[in-house]
Amino acid sequence: MSWFQPRSALFWVYCAAVVAGPVLFFLQAFGTVRYGLGPALAAIPITALTLLLFGRILFDLDVFRARRHLVAPMVMGFTWGATVWPGLSLWANDHVTSVVTNLGGDEFAANWQASIAAPIDEELIKAIGIAVVAVLFRARLSRPMHGLVLGGAVGLGAQISENCLYSVQTAVSSPQSPVFDVLFVAVLRLVTAFTSHWAMSALAGVGIVVLLVRTDKPWSWRLGFFGLFYLLAVGMHAVFDAPRPSSGPSWLVVFLPMIVDLVIFAIAYSWVLRTERDWFRALIADPMARTIGTEAGLSNLLTGPLRRKARAALRHSTGMSRRAAHRYEHQLIDRIGALPVGAGLPWSAPGAERASYRQS
């Protein structure tokens, strides 16, 4: 399935949003960008490092390489986060924070508006992007990991665009030493980005994809599952932006929200990883996998420690380089993942899964 889908009305809605998003952003922030762009350029290397680092982390979480068939969806998702999200979130944040101020007063809003407004509108805008891309590429989606990498791509696009915006805003608000302050903020956002937009949207993506693909389950179950993972994403965002404690060790005051969010993400990710291992375990147990290797041998691919031992043994017996051993391992995973088996599994190959659900 190509990324270009001219017969789909939803595809053209996506294209219109990608064009309109930057226009809306510059209508709101042209003055800020105009005066702060020069010093903000100093943060480009750190922002690029942020993109590479968390893109790599997202790929590393995808241990069975589900992303192989999701290049176009992930690129389109990243584009949504980088283009549509900034303009819409600026506009929405202004309106939601006004509501918070009117209802709670200035003092309450000063402390809590970020942890109320941003989780509501920013997560919704990212989730809409995940849903649009997921519907366009529904035939490629079959497992929770597909949702995690797609959602992570949308969130990473939003994260990079927000870093750029923060760099510009910092340059404008720091006339005395704009470059130093821009670099400081960029480094701080890099350090605290381990539970930022990419991780939040990754969980929302799991909920959205499961809602779409688990057609063997009733709507109530699917909506409940989506609601759980979407609320986890919103909750992570609320914790991330919540006011810090006024007392306690300085490191704890700074990193406590990130620690809480890491725990939330780790618990949710452990479930996603378990579904991946169940899927892979069923594949290597199928008779068709005998064309690739024995079940006992292929089971070494199930966990990180087993993989490391298998790579070490392979290098010892063949003289392979470390890179060649990794490449061989990836080729095995790709060949196994391409097997047309598992139609009866909850998480199976997309084509097999669609056929299984139609029959049921």
Is the per-residue pLDDT at 346 higher than 60?
no
Is the per-residue pLDDT at 352 higher than 70?
no
Query: Which has the minimum average pLDDT: 237-241, 294-298, 323-327?
Result: 294-298
DSSP per position, 320-348: --HHHHHHHHHHHHHHHHT-S--TTSSS-
**Angle 344-349-350 (CA atoms, 0-180°, nearest 5)?**
105
- How high is the pLDDT of residue 271? 96
Query: Could you identify the residue written with the tokens 């939003």?
Result: 158
- How high is the pLDDT of residue 26? 93
Dihedral sign of CA atoms 108, 184, 154, 226 in order: negative
- How high is the pLDDT of residue 291? 85
Query: Could you identify the residue written with the tokens 């399935």?
Result: 1
Task: Give the integer Cα–Cα distance in Å for 63 and 263.
Answer: 20
Please report, as a single letter, which amino acid is at residue 86: P
Query: Which has the minimum average pLDDT: 40-54, 291-305, 339-353?
Result: 339-353
pLDDT in tens, 260-284: 999 999 999 999 999 999 999 989 8
pLDDT in tens, 119-172: 999 999 999 999 999 999 999 999 999 999 999 999 999 999 999 999 999 999
How many percent of the chain have pLDDT more than 70?
A: 92
Specify the pTM. 0.91
pLDDT in tens, 247-256: 666 667 778 8
Could you give the C-alpha distances from 216 to 137, 148, 192, 207, 226, in angstroms and in order?
19, 20, 39, 15, 15
